[in-house]
Chains A and B, each alone.
Chain A
């Protein structure tokens, strides 16, 4: 089939419309560049009724919101796809495991995430200096701080000024008051001697401009907000960029196969497949920004082979795909008898926790490196598929029979509604060169593109961290008045440690560094091997702190975009 050439040459082709791609779109179009944005999925706008899942009732879905292969987090979650994408498989090396969450749609995975928006702190950029493991970033907190500040003001994040050493404060909107189950958690945390502070989420408790509304407390940020009161890349970056009169051309359902390069090894644009008619196109561009997500970007680079870039574009070091790492995770729940037979009122709140525990043991000698934060969940939420299963299992604790039938089941469900508190740890793993993704030459996706094969194993560091989490969870939950549910996962189950990829914080596949032999991009997200190619997703992360990566992706993409503009002005690109 013939490749169809774009009639014009764009200043910049941006691959991916998530956090990094959205930020690049906004900054580069406002700098006057002629920008093409290529997104592998369809258009999405939560304000338009045809896309809207917010404020829908469970019975509006015939499967009552159940999850499916088409939407892993249920019918009403905004993120299309998830753990499975039909026609786009990936493989895992024998004996290893990686769960890869992908969302093909405008805004990518910013439509799904929990809006937890934490800055990396000074220690998070220099962990090797502390524990001798992994590598330091080539940049530090002071390099990124001005961009965190700008992201806070542009997008909005609530939180509180706490002056905690490695949890930098920002330009915060005021947080919402804690809910009842969070009051119990606060009580428990105080008793257990661990800190608890208002959470930091990119949700507008107060307006920040006239284009976006303030939160109306439906608790459904994961469904996408019709008032644009939470952050997603489409609603907060790409639509505003389009409205600002910049030259932004959006190509949806455009699956990028490779970056094309010329005889000097410089990028000339991208080849993509239009998913609607399966035709292959070449889009010409002077600069290419890859922001397809850490693993998708690695895949594109590795599939972009030429005589100059024989191992894939940007891969002269052999580091593309290596140092892949995700956050650790573990959870536990408890039944709180004092929360039985609750008085009913609307406690939806914001979509996510109102309080959390930042890592508190930076100064303590432990048997594992690095740390984790604790997230809290619970409350009288809206039922969906699965609600009412095992309706009286908690009778095991309170006394009474399990099972049965009849009107009494109603009372059981109502009695226990909102009486469970759960907590989850999200921690930092130590990046390993031998945890990586590579091209699986045996398998192509339905577009004919060779797929990724994952090789990933946790080390003892992560397992020990999960053990510490479980011990802490028990202490805090019991101090909250909870009776622990289920068995404590032991060594045989790696202490409940989630599989790599499951926390959806995967980073590191195109890590930044000063040494071209051991890194893929420089400290401005620019490929060592091709100066007109940038990576603006989480690929350039040297290490993923216990903080959710989105705020750092945004800050670094802004910083890299400013650098890109400056380099073009200086005629260096």
Chain B
């Protein structure tokens, strides 16, 4: 699927923020006649939350031009590298499309920010930002991406770019790809038995003997606890 087609599927609530992005297989005639009912797999919602999600999914806010501009910005902010994909590969634009609907406080700054950006690039190049060359786009970004170094008249652009950087990075690092990239190893059943020895060594730390003596012997964690009358654990 081309980016443009994939962006189209973001419009008019046809897709749930990255969770129901349709595959690349060509659509059959039947598919186009039956509108998709937006829905999400369960994630522990109560009834009020289900109703809220359904309502947000059915709404649309950002238009096609805005979503395309966001996709361009997302990949400037976080391009792919040798190991991992770009922000759009991690479906960050889909995430932003949802979040802007879900958090009304984001709507004005994002819509206004894109309009500011287009206005600015029109002044410079007589082109909307997304239609500028990569070189032109990056030159504009350079002028608004470094807080503290921004020309006073470009401050609105800096504010918008900062917002976009935050949303792009949070969208990426909460995606499956981003978590892998980060190297987070948890969220799975396990047994915590202390900081690995080599890490302790690297930090010049060691467990105090008296402290360790108080801690759980993990080989006993499934034994049913019993105490004497003073509260000393017997098992």
Which A residues lie at the B interface, using CB under 8 A? 42, 49-53, 55-66, 68, 70-71, 75-76, 80, 86, 105, 149, 152-153, 156, 158, 160-161, 169-180, 183-184, 186-187, 198, 205-210, 214-220, 338, 342-350, 380-391, 401-407, 409-410, 413-414, 417
A residues less than 8 Å from B44 (CB atoms)? 50-53, 56, 76
Give the docked Cα–Cα distance between A387 and B169 (Å). Answer: 8
Given the contacts A50-B44, A62-B40, A402-B146, A206 and B235 also touching, CB distance less than 8 Å: yes
Most buried by A among B41, B200, B211, B224: B211
**B2-10, B25-33, B118-126, B215-223 - interface stretch:** B215-223
Give the docked Cα–Cα distance between A261 and B192 (Å). Answer: 54
Given the contacts A210-B224, A216-B189, A217-B190, A174 and B184 also touching, CB distance less than 8 Å: no
Give the docked Cα–Cα distance between A180 and B173 (Å). Answer: 23
List 15 other contacts, CB 8 Å, given A63-B102, A206-B216, A338-B203.
A56-B44, A58-B179, A62-B56, A62-B95, A149-B231, A178-B194, A205-B216, A218-B190, A344-B184, A380-B186, A383-B170, A388-B170, A402-B148, A404-B145, A410-B81
A residues less than 8 Å from B98 (CB atoms)? 62-63
Give the docked Cα–Cα distance between A417 and B147 (Å). Answer: 22
A residues less than 8 Å from B225 (CB atoms)? 156, 173, 206-208
Give the docked Cα–Cα distance between A458 and B199 (Å). Answer: 45
> Is there contact, CB below 8 Å, between B49 and A70?
yes
B residues less than 8 Å from A172 (CB atoms)? 231, 233
Q: Which of B154-185 contact A (CB under 8 A)?
A: 161-162, 165-166, 169-176, 178-179, 181-185
> Is there contact, CB below 8 Å, between B174 and A180?
no
Give the docked Cα–Cα distance between A72 and B234 (Å). Answer: 42
Give the docked Cα–Cα distance between A404 and B142 (Å). Answer: 7
Closest to A174 in B: B216
Give the docked Cα–Cα distance between A52 and B42 (Å). Answer: 9
A residues less than 8 Å from B110 (CB atoms)? none
Q: B135 near A: Cβ within 8 Å?
A: no
> Is there contact, CB below 8 Å, between B166 and A389?
yes
> Is there contact, CB below 8 Å, between A388 and B169?
yes
Give the docked Cα–Cα distance between A222 and B57 (Å). Answer: 27
B residues less than 8 Å from A410 (CB atoms)? 78, 81, 84, 181
B residues less than 8 Å from A49 (CB atoms)? 42
> Is there contact, CB below 8 Å, between A207 and B195?
no
B residues less than 8 Å from A171 (CB atoms)? 227, 231
Q: Which of B64-89 contact A (CB under 8 A)?
A: 76-79, 81, 84
> Is there contact, CB below 8 Å, between A386 and B183?
no
Contact of A177 among B79, B182, B207 (CB under 8 A): B207
> Is there contact, CB below 8 Å, between B77 and A177?
no
Closest to A54 in B: B44
Which B residues lie at the A interface, using CB under 8 A? 16-19, 40-44, 46-49, 52-53, 56-57, 76-79, 81, 84, 95, 98-99, 102-103, 141, 145-148, 161-162, 165-166, 169-176, 178-179, 181-196, 198-200, 202-203, 205, 207-208, 211-212, 214-217, 220-225, 227, 231-233, 235
Given the contacts A176-B192, A206-B220, A206-B235, A402 and B147 also touching, CB distance less than 8 Å: yes
Contact of A347 among B84, B176, B179, B186 (CB under 8 A): B186
Min CB distance, A399 to chain B, in Å? 14
Given the contacts A50-B42, A198-B211, A350-B192, A70 and B52 also touching, CB distance less than 8 Å: yes
Closest to B86 in A: A407
Contact of B199 among A55, A59, A105, A180 (CB under 8 A): A180
Min CB distance, A144 to chain B, in Å? 15
> Is there contact, CB below 8 Å, between A198 and B42?
no
Give the docked Cα–Cα distance between A401 and B161 (Å). Answer: 16
Give the docked Cα–Cα distance between A208 and B46 (Å). Answer: 31
Given the contacts A52-B44, A345-B185, A206 and B223 also touching, CB distance less than 8 Å: yes
A residues less than 8 Å from B174 (CB atoms)? 58-59, 64-65, 383-385, 387
Most buried by A among B19, B43, B162: B43
B residues less than 8 Å from A62 (CB atoms)? 16-19, 40, 53, 56-57, 95, 98-99, 102
> Is there contact, CB below 8 Å, between B195 and A205?
no
Give the docked Cα–Cα distance between A127 and B81 (Å). Answer: 62
30 A-B contact pairs sorted by A residue (CB < 8 Å): A59-B176, A63-B99, A66-B103, A68-B52, A68-B102, A70-B52, A153-B227, A160-B214, A172-B231, A173-B225, A174-B233, A175-B214, A177-B215, A180-B199, A187-B205, A198-B214, A206-B220, A206-B221, A206-B223, A207-B222, A207-B225, A215-B221, A218-B189, A344-B183, A344-B184, A347-B186, A385-B174, A389-B166, A402-B148, A410-B81
A residues less than 8 Å from B95 (CB atoms)? 62, 64
Contact of B187 among A209, A382, A388 (CB under 8 A): A382
> Is there contact, CB below 8 Å, between A346 and B196?
no
Give the docked Cα–Cα distance between A528 and B47 (Å). Answer: 41
A residues less than 8 Å from B231 (CB atoms)? 149, 152, 161, 169-172
> Is there contact, CB below 8 Å, between A406 and B223?
no
> Is there contact, CB below 8 Å, between A64 and B171?
yes
Give the docked Cα–Cα distance between A254 and B64 (Å). Answer: 46
Give the docked Cα–Cα distance between A387 and B195 (Å). Answer: 24
Give the docked Cα–Cα distance between A64 and B79 (Å). Answer: 21
Give the docked Cα–Cα distance between A338 and B214 (Å). Answer: 27
Contact of B41 among A60, A198, A218, A382 (CB under 8 A): A60
Closest to A75 in B: B43
Min CB distance, B83 to chain A, in Å? 10
> Is there contact, CB below 8 Å, between A404 and B146?
yes
Given the contacts A177-B195, A206-B220, A206-B225, A61 and B78 also touching, CB distance less than 8 Å: no
A residues less than 8 Å from B76 (CB atoms)? 405-406
> Is there contact, CB below 8 Å, between A348 and B186?
yes
Min CB distance, A224 to chain B, in Å? 9
> Is there contact, CB below 8 Å, between A207 and B40?
no
Min CB distance, A12 to chain B, in Å? 28
Closest to B175 in A: A59
> Is there contact, CB below 8 Å, between B205 and A183?
yes
> Is there contact, CB below 8 Å, between B216 and A176?
yes
Contact of B170 among A75, A76, A348, A387 (CB under 8 A): A387
Most buried by B among A156, A169, A178, A349: A178
Min CB distance, A233 to chain B, in Å? 17
Closest to A52 in B: B44
